Amino acid sequence: MRISYDFHIHSALSPCGDEEATPCNIVAMASVKGLDAIAISDHNAIGNVKTAMECGEAFGVTVLPAVEVQTAEDIHVLALFPDYEKLEKFFSTLNFPEIENKPDIFGNQYFYDSDNEITGEETRYLLSGAEEDIYTVCRRIKEYGGKAVPAHIDREANGILAILGEIPPDLSFDALEFSPYADETIKDKYHIFRRLTDSDAHRPTDISDPVNFLEAEENSVEAVFAAI
């Protein structure tokens, strides 16, 4: 079946995420827009994924466990998993510098429950990247059963092409992600890869409309993950 998706959405846990972007508000907006499958891909953090998955079940929206990792080279990579435990195990292998967030300057980093209540706050500043390089991050994503997708590769900021100048063939990515405004010529250039287009929304209203599709066996976490 045809699955409309948006696998790159930030919640209010990301310091740059809108305060309205609670995990359940995101799922509700995805449902209103008619999306079948989404992922909460916060910067270097997974603390709102479980709540989003719970809300996804209530709304009939598939929520893939995911995170947007910033590597030592400042490249952004989406790590997508077929279940939450695998995401959690992978994420626990990464090392981040202990830089404290300054909410007044960078923004709040809140965890939420399914009633949109704040349940806690991340004190580590989440826009400081992991100590692991792109090779290590990709290897570990695969070791723990996930899929590695370099994020917004057409963008200057934190895109792999701007930083490395190419897609190193030995990284064997599962797909490449483009921003919604990517030029068709750059998309054509990488036609041998599976190409995803995601919103990278930092507020619920910026989540994709149902315009990007995957072909999956059914609308479940396992099947959508397998279709990537």
Q: Which residues bind Zn ion (CB under 5 A)?
A: 68, 76, 151, 158, 200
Determine phi and psi for 118, rounding to 5 degrees: -70, 125
Q: Which is nearer to Zn ion, 158 or 208 (CB)?
A: 158
Q: Which is nearer to Zn ion, 82 or 129 (CB)?
A: 129
Angle at 177 between CA 131 and CA 174, to 5 degrees: 75
Q: Which is nearer to Zn ion, 22 or 158 (CB)?
A: 158
Closest distance of CB 9 from Zn ion, Å: 8
Closest distance of CB 158 from Zn ion, Å: 5
Closest distance of CB 215 from Zn ion, Å: 25
Spatial strand order in the sheet of 76-80: 66-70, 76-80, 147-150
Closest distance of CB 113 from Zn ion, Å: 23
Partners of residue 67 on adjacent β-strands = 79
Q: Which is nearer to Zn ion, 68 or 174 (CB)?
A: 68
Q: DSSP code of 117?
A: -
Distances (CA, A) of 126 to 80, 92, 199, 203, 222: 18, 15, 20, 17, 28
